[in-house]
């Protein structure tokens, strides 16, 4: 059986020279790769006491939903600003060239709920940090943060100091 990282296609010099783009969609295109990714995330949660899985659009949906289903937990989507129909809370976060805003329904997390965040990738950690702030604003407790891939050279894990963070694949570069 192949290792999960063997399903990742690496594209040199994209989106700019010197960067190696790690394409998670190649994992999704292979049934065994997809199963291995979900199984890896599930394994990260063995023995973890939690109530709900949270994931950002769009790839957090792809990986978070099967984890929630397998663990018999609910799933809370985090969306880009203006995409959710009910009352929301929002959080702005920094991008390389500007800012973005994500939102979640105000009633999505109940006070005291234990939350797991699942996403495809941690790079700078800005999106995840914003998600954690929203969960905590609603009274939830983030007990674990799980990623399929981590670009360690971008030091996103440093923004998440104090949280239990785990990645199935860690690339040392950017």
- Residue 96 is a catalytic residue: yes
Helix or strand run (H / E) with residue 30: none
Residues in the chain: 174
Q: Which of 5, 59, 106, 166 is catalytic?
A: 59
**Among residues 17, 87, 96, 172, which one is catalytic?**
96
Question: Helix (H, G, I), strand (E, B), or coil: what is residue 16?
Answer: coil
Query: Which 3-state string (H, E, C) describes 35-74?
Result: HHHHHHHHHHCCCCCCCEEEEECCHHHHHHHHHHHHHCCE
Residue 157 is among the residues annotated as catalytic for this protein: no
Under DSSP, is residue 94 helix (H, G, I), strand (E, B) or coil? strand
Phi, then psi, of 100 in degrees rounded to 5: -140, 165
Residues serving a catalytic function are 59, 96
């Amino acid at each position: 059986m192949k290792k999960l990282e063997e399903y990742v296609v690496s594209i040199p010099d994209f989106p700019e020279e010197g960067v190696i783009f790690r394409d998670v969609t190649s994992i999704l295109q292979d049934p065994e790769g997809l199963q291995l990714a979900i199984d890896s995330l599930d394994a990260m949660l063995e023995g973890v006491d939690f109530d709900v899985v949270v994931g950002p659009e769009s790839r957090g949906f792809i990986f978070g939903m099967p984890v929630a289903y397998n663990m018999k937990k609910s799933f809370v989507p985090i969306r880009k600003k203006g995409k959710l129909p009910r009352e929301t809370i929002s959080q702005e976060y920094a991008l390389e060239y500007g800012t973005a805003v994500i939102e979640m329904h105000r009633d999505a997390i109940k006070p005291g709920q234990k939350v797991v965040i699942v996403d495809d990738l941690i790079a700078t950690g800005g999106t995840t940090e914003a998600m954690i702030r929203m969960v905590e604003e609603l009274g939830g407790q983030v007990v674990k943060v799980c990623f399929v891939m981590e670009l360690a050279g971008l030091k996103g894990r440093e923004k998440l100091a104090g949280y239990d963070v785990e990645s199935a694949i860690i690339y040392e570069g950017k």
